[in-house]
Amino acid sequence: MTPVQILDSTLRDGAQAEGISFSVNDRLELARILDGLGLHYIEAGNPASNPKDLAFFRQARELKLRRAKLCAFGATRRKGSAADADKSCAALLEANTPAVAIVGKGSSLHVDEVLKTTPAENLAMIEDTCRFFARAGREVIFDAEHFFDGYALDPAYALETLRAAARGYARVLVLCDTNGGAFPWQAAEITRKVCGEFPGCAIGIHAHDDGGMATAISCAAVEAGARHVQGTLLGFGERVGNAGLSAVIPNLQLKLGYACVEPGQLASLTQYALRAASVANTRLRGGTPFVGASAFAHKGGMHADGVLKNPASFEHIDPAAVGNRRRVLVSEMAGRAAVLPRVQRLYPDIGADDPALERIVAALKDRELGGYSYEGADASFDLLIRRSRETLPAFFELISYKVLDQLPYQGERSATATLRLRADGRVKTAEARGEGPVNALDLALRGALRAFYPALARVRLIDYKVRIMDSAAGTGSRVRVLITSGDGARQWTTVGVSHDIIEASWEALADSIVYILLNDYKIDGK
Amino acid sequence: MTPVQILDSTLRDGAQAEGISFSVNDRLELARILDGLGLHYIEAGNPASNPKDLAFFRQARELKLRRAKLCAFGATRRKGSAADADKSCAALLEANTPAVAIVGKGSSLHVDEVLKTTPAENLAMIEDTCRFFARAGREVIFDAEHFFDGYALDPAYALETLRAAARGYARVLVLCDTNGGAFPWQAAEITRKVCGEFPGCAIGIHAHDDGGMATAISCAAVEAGARHVQGTLLGFGERVGNAGLSAVIPNLQLKLGYACVEPGQLASLTQYALRAASVANTRLRGGTPFVGASAFAHKGGMHADGVLKNPASFEHIDPAAVGNRRRVLVSEMAGRAAVLPRVQRLYPDIGADDPALERIVAALKDRELGGYSYEGADASFDLLIRRSRETLPAFFELISYKVLDQLPYQGERSATATLRLRADGRVKTAEARGEGPVNALDLALRGALRAFYPALARVRLIDYKVRIMDSAAGTGSRVRVLITSGDGARQWTTVGVSHDIIEASWEALADSIVYILLNDYKIDGK
């Protein structure tokens, strides 16, 4: 397979996205994730424009990257000076990375309007700056800004800017669609011409998704001869975002036959994407191609049926090839056929025509009308199935809780929860202080149950999410709480719904404990 | 400009998306929105598979659509029978829509494996079914399922399926990339061949976004001769989603010169998209091409600068052409240049070199480090600016609050809030019961302030959002609350952050009231 090198710019272009900001620790962790996936370059900041970026590069030297080269990003030298007298170039050099990406103007319009210099001086700026870093032993990647617009306007000059970089020993010449306005067929045609002109350089593509074309442009450019692709793993970037590598890489590798990452790493792509989203404190959108939770989710009766008969009918690739999995969604639309496999996992004797199945589907619809959603809450769905079938053991029974939250704080914490419950025939009262009312209640519940169920000491809350459901109702809105718990070996998610966030959280908390007690105590109720 | 007809399937394919479900009222409202935008066909359901869909079509007759034709969707007749004896065909006819979309197998593999019939019978099923509806006066759109995969496998048979539909008087032959696995150049090549074979029919394209290519495929097919595009306005659809018309239409109309909707409607595209998202009870993702809130948002210092000098540098189209707008984001990265216009709106005398500006930027960075985000909270940002400049009038001062939340409920509601505050030199105590702790506190605050500031009676909470910021910390996570308030004429948004959701909500509530009192009482503090 022909190799294609990948440069990830999550830490540079990605940090330009609205709502994204990385701490130094986030950046180090993201660099480890990107290296783990096996990408070739990690573009990690602009040391000249941002002292925090320079500080990061200093710390980053301690990262033991197995494959990726760190890359610092900066602009060509100022007009009318020399690279070795330029402060920005000095800062870039100080970052001490094996590779540098130098951005220069690829369009005569921008030379004139933005740089306000002559075409010849722009060429000299590009050549000098590239040569300066090449002589200092850096691998130089030249990013030709506005290249496609510039080529449309004045192809001869656009090519001259690349020639200047090549004379300065740039190893990679990157064609940038800076405003994201190109179409893939335009990008492919221009890339093909450029590849013909520069047989000695690798040609790269840097696409933005403003027109919704970034993935297609990246793949089309590779088909036209590009061998270096720039993007960001999750598509983070200014405005609409950069080319999302989590879509570009599997398209190139699984469908078009290029080698980007090791095959074993590709089979964990979804896990890398989830870890990166978690560090970036964003949700990995369900509809993200290849790696989203919905990417292989089937809801319609016909589709859910068809995909079981022949997966290729409704799946463009095997989800396992990118570490994702097929899901048949539980919802009123899916009906009995989709619910049945879930029911049979718990009760193998229930068949498709069993009235018990009808009761479970009815209970599900009823809860969905009340605002519950089980699409992400598998453990609560298991409990719903079991409760519509049998009386589950009463591991504990809530008598009452009271949560008091006040300002000014009493002591160091704002909230106190008092809980009374019955377990094993005894009444137990527990009190706890917490950072907020839900935390206090959570601590009180664990405190009360510890004596009865020591195994619960291993259980941790892993994720806590709140969704306001009818937010237009203001502070009186209904709230859906999802809690993910884990005990080191397993993870499970439960759901609660109420107008009261504390009550919704209580419901999800209580379910999460019942779920693991049912499994740990092997009481299967049949 | 060459016309291209658009079919929106939000109400059919879009309803297959995870997390999406429409009530009958939602559907009627969405149909009005799609018609308002000026789309040509609204595919609104499958009356044969779903009695709710048939009920919708009955109600939909009362819609006075100005341009769009309603379209019912169904499959070809069963094998070995006749269309006029087929229950599904009868249900489709009963929907009584001007257009029908008939889906049939476009791939010999699926004829064999899924239909389990002969190639000849599949052709007869297609031809009979199309003819049945054409004779009944319907405009017939034939959707050739799995067409691109089928063409790759057996081009002659794939074309035969289209010929059968054409013999049955189908007006539009739609090439469907059912599993979303095609590339735009493949779709274009095959579309071009099909267009050459069927000069008398309109050729359509139906793309899914599994590979991240749906927008590009749709545009590439039109460039290759297709004159009918199917998709969903916001890209809703099974798995990753269908082609998003909010991106396809402006690409075709603004950049490639096709006429899809009236130009005046295109200039309101963002508003139509926002209304559709609101009816669907989803957030319009900021990074949605063309219509997302971030689509023309600039954060990086250099970019924010560049776009002010020459908009085309970093904007592929004029945002006004789709009803969107440019935003320069307030954040530590944007720096003084981006903050200055916001500061000058309040204090016109502060210039770029004023030390006051430096203090405001420092205060902003400090709050952002603490977890605040002002990107959506303009009112809190105004207050931050004013507070770093002057001492604002103390409209009220919190002495303490206590919120008690309990289960079982006391009376009908779960929470009681007691609040003590000082205003106008007097101490005022108020108590309120609410649906949950935040609602109770909100009601107590309004109760306490009513006597002092009667104008507050007009202020309503419009939206309440909660974001868990480090959700991996479980119930001890920090919480960011955004509250949008309105008084009928204005809307403003404030933010609060704390480990305690009640305290975070208090902060946002208090800011929202201070903000409107400052504006209503015209105390500008200078």
- DSSP secondary structure code for residue A242 in this structure: B
Flag if A185 and B183 touch (Cβ within 8 Å): no
CA distance B114 to B118: 11
CA distance A57 to B190: 49
Q: In what order do the strands lie in the sheet with A479-486?
A: A460-468, A479-486, A491-498
Q: How many helices (H) and strands (E) does chain A have?
A: 18, 18
CA-closest candidate to residue B236, choices A257, A111, A294, A375: A294
Question: Once rounded to an integer, what is the mean pLDDT over residues A308-316?
Answer: 84
A297 by DSSP, 3-state: which? strand
CA distance B508 to B482: 7
Q: pLDDT tier at A179 (50, 70, 90 boundaries)?
A: very high
Chain B hits for A437, CB-CB cut-off 8 Å, are 403, 405, 437, 500-502
Count chain A–chain B contacts defined by CB atoms under 8 A.
374
Length of chain B: 526
CA-closest candidate to residue B416, choices A432, A404, A480: A404
Question: Once rounded to an integer, what is the mean pLDDT over residues B97-119?
Answer: 93
pLDDT in the model for residue B369? 72
Write the residue in B211, B298, B469 that is nearest to A281 by C-beta: B469
Question: Once rounded to an integer, what is the mean pLDDT over residues A155-164?
Answer: 98
Tokens at A7, concatenated: 């440069």
**Is residue A473 over pLDDT 80?**
no
Q: How many helices (H) and strands (E) does chain B have?
A: 18, 18
Chain A hits for B475, CB-CB cut-off 8 Å, are 434, 436, 438-439, 441-442, 461, 464, 483, 505, 509
- How large is the greatest C-alpha to C-alpha distance in chain A, in angstroms? 89
Query: What is the helix (H) or strand (E) element at residue B466, kind and residue range?
Result: strand B460-468
Q: pLDDT tier at A358 (50, 70, 90 boundaries)?
A: confident
| B228-246: pLDDT as tens digits | 999 999 999 999 999 999 9
pLDDT in the model for residue B178? 95
pLDDT > 70 fraction of chain B, expressed in percent and rounded = 95
**Is residue A60 over pLDDT 50?**
yes
pLDDT in the model for residue A525? 34
Helix, strand and coil percent figures for chain B, each rounded to 5: 45, 20, 35
Q: pLDDT tier at B100 (50, 70, 90 boundaries)?
A: very high
Q: pLDDT tier at B522 (50, 70, 90 boundaries)?
A: low
B323 by DSSP, 3-state: which? coil
Distance from CA of A78 to the nearest CA of B (A): 15
Least confident of A198-207, A327-336, A374-383: A327-336
Tokens at A110, concatenated: 């921008």
pLDDT in the model for residue B65? 94
Please give the distance of CA A68 from its chain centroid, rounded to a whole number: 19
Chain B hits for A408, CB-CB cut-off 8 Å, are 400
Contact A323, A275 (CB under 8 A): no
Tokens at B275, concatenated: 């209304």
B210 by DSSP, 3-state: which? coil
| A388-424: pLDDT as tens digits | 888 888 899 999 999 999 999 878 888 999 999 999 8
CA distance B128 to B165: 8
Return phi, psi of residue B318, to 5°: -75, 120
Strand extents, DSSP E, A365-488? 397-410, 413-423, 426-434, 460-468, 479-486
Return phi, psi of residue B199, to 5°: -65, -20
CA distance A373 to B223: 42
Distance from CA of A434 to the nearest CA of B (A): 8
B418 versus B456: the higher-pLDDT residue is B418
**Is residue B18 over pLDDT 60?**
yes
pLDDT in the model for residue A300? 59
User: Given CB atoms, is B452 within the 8 Å cutoff of chain A?
Assistant: no
B430 by DSSP, 3-state: which? strand
CA-closest candidate to residue A96, choices A128, A142, A63: A63
Amino acid at B112: D
Question: Once rounded to an integer, what is the mean pLDDT over residues A27-34?
Answer: 94
Q: Among the ranges A390-404, A487-501, B79-93, B209-223, which has the highest mean pLDDT value? A: B209-223
CA-closest candidate to residue A507, choices A376, A372, A405, A389: A372
Chain A hits for B402, CB-CB cut-off 8 Å, are 404-406
Strand extents, DSSP E, A13-88? 41-43, 69-75
CA-closest candidate to residue A147, choices A233, A205, A82, A86: A205
Query: Residues 475 to 494 of B: which have CB under 8 A from any A CB?
Result: 475-477, 479, 483
Question: Once rounded to an integer, what is the mean pLDDT over residues B246-255?
Answer: 98
Contact B8, B233 (CB under 8 A): yes
Write the DSSP assignment of A480-509 as a string of letters. Answer: EEEEEEE-SS-EEEEEEEESSHHHHHHHHH
**Is residue B331 over pLDDT 70?**
no
Return mean pLDDT, chain B: 90
- Distance set, CA B92 to CA B71, B352, B475 (Å): 10, 67, 51
Contact A257, A251 (CB under 8 A): no
Write the residue in B21, B255, B296 that is nearest to A239 by C-beta: B296
CA distance A193 to A217: 15
pLDDT in the model for residue A505? 94
Return phi, psi of residue B481, to 5°: -110, 130
| A441-467: pLDDT as tens digits | 999 999 999 889 988 888 887 778 787
* Residue A289: cis peptide before it, omega within 30 degrees of 0: no
pLDDT in the model for residue B524? 37
Query: What is the helix (H) or strand (E) element at residue B177, kind and residue range?
Result: strand B172-177
Non-local (6+) Cβ contacts of A81 within 8 A are none
Return mean pLDDT, chain A: 90
CB burial readout B132-146, b (16+ within 10 A) else e: bbbeeebbbbbbbbb
Vertex B36: Cα angle to B33 and B38 (nearest 5)? 120
Helices (H), A267-421: 269-279, 301-309, 335-346, 355-369, 378-389
- Distance set, CA B410 to CA A416, A477, B414, B415, B505 (Å): 18, 20, 6, 8, 23
pLDDT in the model for residue B336? 74
Question: Once rounded to an integer, what is the mean pLDDT over residues B123-130?
Answer: 98
From the candidates B88, B153, B240, which should be mutated to test the interface with A, based on the most A CB atoms within 10 A? B240
Beta bridge partners, A398, equal: A421
pLDDT in the model for residue A478? 84
**Is residue B131 over pLDDT 50?**
yes
**Is residue A24 over pLDDT 60?**
yes
pLDDT > 90 fraction of chain B, expressed in percent and rounded = 62
Query: Residues 65 to 104 of B: which have CB under 8 A from any A CB?
Result: none
CA-closest candidate to residue A92, choices A70, A63, A109, A110: A70
How many C-beta neighbours within 10 Å does residue A16 have? 26
Least confident of A266-270, A479-483, B141-145: A479-483
User: Given CB atoms, is B115 within the 8 Å cutoff of chain A?
Assistant: no
User: Given CB atoms, is B56 within the 8 Å cutoff of chain A?
Assistant: no
Non-local (6+) Cβ contacts of B193 within 8 A are none
B489 versus A191: the higher-pLDDT residue is A191
**Is residue A303 over pLDDT 70?**
no
User: Given CB atoms, is B206 within the 8 Å cutoff of chain A?
Assistant: no
Q: pLDDT tier at B152 (50, 70, 90 boundaries)?
A: very high
pLDDT in the model for residue A523? 43
pLDDT in the model for residue B390? 85
CA distance A461 to A484: 6
Tokens at A329, concatenated: 């969604």
Query: What is the helix (H) or strand (E) element at residue B423, kind and residue range?
Result: strand B413-423
CA distance B399 to B345: 33
Q: pLDDT tier at A524 (50, 70, 90 boundaries)?
A: very low
Write the residue in B289, B400, B483 that is nearest to A240 by C-beta: B289
User: Given CB atoms, is A238 within the 8 Å cutoff of chain B?
Assistant: yes
CA-closest candidate to residue A513, choices A478, A483, A469: A483
Helices (H), B154-268: 155-167, 184-197, 214-223, 245-250, 263-266
Write the residue in A110, A238, A466 that is nearest to B468 by C-beta: A466
pLDDT in the model for residue B300? 59
Q: pLDDT tier at B525 (50, 70, 90 boundaries)?
A: very low
**Is residue A471 over pLDDT 60?**
no
* Residue B355: cis peptide before it, omega within 30 degrees of 0: no
Write the DSSP assignment of A379-394 as a string of letters. Answer: HHHHHHHHHHHSPPP-
CA-closest candidate to residue A178, choices A211, A156, A140: A211
Return phi, psi of residue A464, to 5°: -140, 120
Distance from CA of B10 to the nearest CA of A (A): 14
A182 versus A521: the higher-pLDDT residue is A182
Crossing angle, helix A119-135 and helix A87-94, to 10 degrees?
Answer: 30
Q: pLDDT tier at A285 (50, 70, 90 boundaries)?
A: confident
User: Given CB atoms, is A425 within the 8 Å cutoff of chain B?
Assistant: no
Give the nearest chain B residue to A477 (CA atoms): B464
Query: What is the helix (H) or strand (E) element at residue A171, kind and residue range?
Result: none
Amino acid at B197: E
Tokens at B208, concatenated: 């899914």
Write the residue in A180, A239, A402 that is nearest to B406 by C-beta: A402
Amino acid at B478: R
**Is residue B214 over pLDDT 70?**
yes
Q: pLDDT tier at B368 (50, 70, 90 boundaries)?
A: confident
- DSSP secondary structure code for residue A49 in this structure: T
Distance from CA of B331 to the nearest CA of A (A): 9
Q: pLDDT tier at A49 (50, 70, 90 boundaries)?
A: confident
| A197-220: pLDDT as tens digits | 999 899 999 999 999 999 999 999
Contact A126, A168 (CB under 8 A): yes
| A86-113: pLDDT as tens digits | 999 999 999 999 999 999 999 998 898 8
How many C-beta neighbours within 10 Å does residue A389 have? 18
